[in-house]
Amino acid sequence: MTITTLTSREFNQDVSKAKREALNGPVFITDRGQPAHVLLSIEEYQKISDKETSIVDLLAMPDAAEIEFEAPKLGKELYRPADLS
């Protein structure tokens, strides 16, 4: 996997190059020297966005009963009466 970095100007001047490079790995597009966008091929995007495990699946895990969890105590009131004076 190759990571390519292009400035916004380079990207605007040669979009085809950016698309070709995205087939080999992510293309970071910078704005004023800072990463602003990432161009990915659709295959790479689908790999990272197609998460089949949902929070419901995770909570329904058979081993979940063995996980120790103690919620922290809330140290203040949940609400405060409004001062209407």
Split at pLDDT 50, 70, 90, the class of 13 is: very high
Ordered alpha helix ranges (H), the chain: 8-13, 15-22, 42-49, 55-59
Out of 26-30, 49-53, 66-70, which region has the weakest mean confidence (pLDDT)?
49-53
Q: 34 forms bridges with which residues in the sheet?
A: 31
d(CA 42, CA 55): 25
Split at pLDDT 50, 70, 90, the class of 50 is: confident
Please check the confidence at residue 76 and state whether its pLDDT lies above 80.
Answer: no
Q: What kind and span of H or E run contains 31? A: strand 27-31
3-state class of 4 per DSSP?
A: strand
Domains of the chain (ranges, CATH numbers): 4-66 (3.40.1620.10)
